[in-house]
Structure 1
């Protein structure tokens, strides 16, 4: 029976071919190479000033190419990337045979979070050049990426208190047992060892408690200090980072991201401000889910003159009869009063009261009526013995305007998930990037997330734009960049020459010279 057979491993080919011939012209690795070459990395913040002594450093462009290729192919580990450099023919072509060690690879990512963020912005600019960004409708949301920190190594005041109480109980038992022990030396040594061990543990927890009391932090993570235990879904919590993103609706391309360790309630305003800067205008609508429904954030959006559609959360508490919930009380702005379902008027004394909501303070007005006590519907309306009390936030008008916008543009709001969840589905389910690769500090986490979104945007662009058109565009950019460098060097050379020449003339020397423009190597 015949089979397809390979060539003899020991046989030399008749015509030797270059490694470039082994890489197809339509291979995406060529686009990665052109993309990085089109960037002025020295302006992005990558380090180029290295000491001349010792072994030369790797060029930032080579390491950036390695990372973009790795993230596009679901490889983030520095050791994996080091191994692939020696056996992956595409990486051999991309890096021209270079094999950086894993420490060099890992340090490059760790040391360049801001520069990597600028590379991400370059992908947004490229998408805008090809009109892949509409700039009329954006959706914002967050996703939680697990940190390199277990729940066991995350502590909050309640957890610390439970640990200390447990240790105190154990110390009490060991001390009582030690007091009763009168003959067994080994048993005494064992009890003394356990007591010392638990005392050291207790001291550690007391130090954690002191840190929380003196610094104002709410949690301590020992492996990744900036990570926090955050609710992810269905009352399940993880020690994670919260990544805020803004995604343009036209082709589901992320135009901004920010890595935080806080929840969503205070995130919308800042992301809208950044989006305004990126798009260069405020003529867009932003869609958010109910986690962003916060009065102060509506005020921020109003100051920016940006229309938002934020889902309305369900009422936290109800009246004994839901027909008497606060939404059925009609507010009249001219008289600054509410009318209840029993047609009674609730008024305010005009004073503002401060109410603490989490870490923030909100101003409230109170509305009530003396008619409550004699009302036949009292038991259906409230459980408060003094009668019904309604609180109205200083942001109530803006919250109501959002409600009207939702009602008038509900079909637009329904697109939120399809827009903003598209990147998350690819990144977390398809690429399996559901955790942060780097460790220690939020800046390192930002570098990892920046590379993730850079790879995602490039993937979208590669899929949406004709490769030949993209190659021509990147080639022109690269040519312009290198030509610009030559021009600047030429002007700099001429400037130096004229400076030297003028100093000669001032000193009375005469020299006949011909200006020469030097071309950089």
Structure 2
């Protein structure tokens, strides 16, 4: 049987085409090239990465390399270094430059703020094509594993256990040393063990001092490989040393409009994400959807002060707050603002003494009544033996009740939340495998890593949209050229744009390689 024959590897050949002809016109690598070329990287604050004895690389070339890598599931600086030698698309994109992995890694690490600004430009393009509705957004977070093992994460209890264990072992070694009197070989081995234990003891005591200094945190931690990462609950009883990525998604095309990498949980995240969403959308006439992890009174207060409607899932009542009979839970007590009093299901009135009490993050009043002592349903209402039923009302209760009312009136709207906000996470973590942070040594470098993930997601959504390749390149040009007016006339051959400074028209010819000249 005859087979198709390949070309002889040793035969010399002369290519009848240039490098540019090897890249198809509808290849997304051309969009990456045009997108970065139209950015003012110096104004965005990109740092030039110098190389010893040679001129530095242009930040535009390194940014193109990273965007291409993240869009094709390649984040490792060593992997990107290899691609610069063997990948025809990368060779075309960065014009046959071959940066080493140290230069590539340093560029990502040293430019987190500038990378965020590039991400914002992807949002600007989406807005330019009316791909962002700005009427319904959804927010959520996801956990991304850090480059720090659980073994190298410490809190006060863990350090105390280690120190107690070392003290116990040192005592055992000293007893063995006393018994081994005269046995030089065994004595030497025991002394080496004692030396190792004392080195560990010194290390743990140093970490203990650092934890003692961090008095502002409820549960101070110390991670030795990535100091800003924290040991957190990922789901159920599963825990990881990780970062938390807060994101905001617009409902129209599931595009990310904002992100922020933190090492905190969701309780205090909704307020600042809504502030940023208002600034990005330049409006507060939108509805924001969040899950029950964001159900915090102070965050509702911020949302109401911003004039933003929120729909946050209402968590179940904790066991300690549950009445023996659910009919007598606190939410079934009616508040009368005129009298500043509550009426219980039995018709009794609970009053406050007017005093405000301080908790960790809020203040509250207490409401109670003497009628509890002789109430026939007291055993159904409370398990308290002394004072009977006590209702607490914080300064944020009104805001919490406002959310509950909106959720009740929203109908099927809230059910859209999961489909909206989980879509980017499914793409990033399941399809692309970006379930961890690549960088080490701090949250700034980690933010750059996630910023490139978010940018790659948005650009991929834009490239796969129904806009069309040529229209998208035009949008890139118009979005970043401040001298071009809004009136545009385009055909297959050229784009005619009228400048602000002159009365005549300038023709920007659009050639087959999608370059303006």
Instruction: Establish whether TM, by shorter chain, passes 0.5.
Output: yes
Mark the CA change 1:451 to 1:404 in structure 2 (over 3 Å): closer, same or farther.
same
| Aligned partners of 2:48 and 2:57 also within 8 Å | no
Q: Calculate the TM-score normalised by the size of structure 1.
A: 0.88
| 2:312 aligned residue | 310
Residue 252 of structure 1 deviates from its aligned partner by 0.5
| Aligned partners of 2:231 and 2:240 also within 8 Å | yes
| Aligned partners of 1:37 and 1:478 also within 8 Å | no
Q: Hey, what's the Cα distance between the residues in 1 that align with 2:479 and 2:113?
A: 22
* Secondary structure in structure 1 of the residue aligned to 2:362: strand
Q: Deviations over 1:288-346 (max 9, x none)?
A: 11111111111111111111111111101212222222122222222222222222211
Mark the CA change 1:263 to 1:122 in structure 2 (over 3 Å): closer, same or farther.
same
Mark the CA change 1:476 to 1:262 in structure 2 (over 3 Å): closer, same or farther.
closer
| 1:231 aligned residue | 233
User: Which deviates more from structure 2 when the two are superposed, residues 318-327 or residues 471-480?
Assistant: 471-480
Q: What pairs with 1:369-380 in structure 2 (closer than 5 Å)?
A: 369-380=369-380
| 2:490 aligned residue | none
Equivalent of 1:247 in 226, 249, 255: 249
Residue 3 of structure 1 deviates from its aligned partner by 2.9
The structure whose Rg is larger is 1
Q: Deviations over 1:2-54 (max 9, x none)?
A: 33333333444566211111111111111111111111111111135979x93
Equivalent of 1:332 in 308, 314, 336: 336
Q: Deviations over 1:464-501 (max 9, x none)?
A: 1211211233355678789xxxxxxxxxxxxxxxxxxx
Mark the CA change 1:324 to 1:100 in structure 2 (over 3 Å): closer, same or farther.
same
Q: What pairs with 1:141-180 in structure 2 (closer than 5 Å)?
A: 141-180=140-179
* Secondary structure in structure 2 of the residue aligned to 1:364: strand
Q: Hey, what's the Cα distance between the residues in 2 that align with 1:67 and 1:117?
A: 14
User: Which deviates more from structure 2 when the two are superposed, residues 248-257 or residues 375-384?
Assistant: 375-384
| 1:296 aligned residue | 298
Q: Hey, what's the Cα distance between the residues in 2 that align with 1:112 and 1:15?
A: 39
Q: Hey, what's the Cα distance between the residues in 2 that align with 1:384 and 1:159?
A: 36
Q: Hey, what's the Cα distance between the residues in 2 that align with 1:136 and 1:273?
A: 15
Mark the CA change 1:30 to 1:169 in structure 2 (over 3 Å): closer, same or farther.
same
Residues matched between the structures, number: 477
Mark the CA change 1:277 to 1:388 in structure 2 (over 3 Å): closer, same or farther.
same
Q: Hey, what's the Cα distance between the residues in 2 that align with 1:70 and 1:55?
A: 25
Q: Deviations over 1:408-439 (max 9, x none)?
A: 11411111111111100000000000000111
| 1:365 aligned residue | 365
User: Which deviates more from structure 2 when the two are superposed, residues 471-480 or residues 295-304?
Assistant: 471-480
Q: Calculate the TM-score normalised by the size of structure 2.
A: 0.89
* Secondary structure in structure 2 of the residue aligned to 1:414: helix
> Mind listing any 5+ residue stretches in structure 2 that lack a counterpart?
485-517
Q: What pairs with 1:86-235 in structure 2 (closer than 5 Å)?
A: 86-216=85-215, 218-235=220-237
Mark the CA change 1:8 to 1:193 in structure 2 (over 3 Å): closer, same or farther.
closer
Mark the CA change 1:3 to 1:212 in structure 2 (over 3 Å): closer, same or farther.
same
Mark the CA change 1:476 to 1:321 in structure 2 (over 3 Å): closer, same or farther.
closer
